[in-house]
Amino acid sequence: MEFSVMLSTMSAGMLRTGAIFALTLLGSLPLGMIVALLRKSRFAPLRIFIRVYISVIRGTPLMLQLLVWYFGPYYLLGLNIGGWRFPAIIVAFVVNYAAYFAEIYRGGIESIPQGQYEAAQVLGYSRAQTFMRIILPQVVKIIMPSVTNEVITLVKDTSMAFTLAYAEIFSLAKQISASQTSFMPFVIAGVFYFIANYAVEIVMARIEKSMDYYK
């Protein structure tokens, strides 16, 4: 198979990998913040549930979570999972990464001195206004390096979708390599991951630089 044909064949896998990456970020970043706030809830049962959720997610492999989310509806509820493959992948990735982002958010929130909350209260800010206008901008600045690391990890973790036989770029690279007895598909996949991560680094660095005024 010629290089151009091989690249064209793998382009569909690149798009699928990009879709997993984008949808995971769109879902896990806001969900992670919600989880982080719930973890600090005054309602003890909810707080305990969130801690258990984070512990289970961080203590089990993403591959296992993908299998649970895909096969769970069939084995537990007897549902037809014929069209459930891609949604299961997205749900598994979002739930997994939300747990990690939640801990990053929590660390950032807890790093803010208590005096800032008290000062905002004196100035008449509500709890919501204090968080959105004073705390959150500082938290975002603090956590950017950690978030960048997780986003870079996500780019590489998209290859775990092969667990459910989803034809993202890594799965296609393996298939083409086996059929053509060629190492080139893995080279193409490696270059794709490198370029994607390099782009992430550039974007996140610019975002972080734009927040320098918080120093």
Number of Cβ within 10 Å of residue 25's Cβ equals 18
Predicted pLDDT at 127: 82
pLDDT at residue 214 tops 80: no
Cα(54)–Cα(98) distance, integer angstroms: 9
What crossing angle do the helices spanning 44-59 and 85-110 adopt, rounded to 10°?
A: 120
Mean pLDDT of 93-120: 91
Predicted pLDDT at 213: 58
pLDDT tier, 1 (very low <50, low <70, confident <90, very high otherwise): low
* Inter-residue contact 105 to 32 (CB < 8 Å): yes
Predicted pLDDT at 165: 85
pLDDT at residue 3 tops 90: no
Mean pLDDT of 116-131: 83
pLDDT at residue 105 tops 90: yes
What crossing angle do the helices spanning 85-110 and 62-77 adopt, rounded to 10°?
A: 130
What crossing angle do the helices spanning 184-210 and 3-39 adopt, rounded to 10°?
A: 40
Extents of the domains making up the chain = 3-214
pLDDT tens sequence across 17-42: 999 999 999 999 999 999 999 998 88
pLDDT tier, 181 (very low <50, low <70, confident <90, very high otherwise): confident
Architecture of the 3-214 domain: Orthogonal Bundle (1.10)
Predicted pLDDT at 178: 86
pLDDT tens sequence across 40-64: 888 999 999 999 999 999 999 999 9
* Inter-residue contact 3 to 69 (CB < 8 Å): no
Q: Which residue has the higher pLDDT, 137 or 147?
A: 147
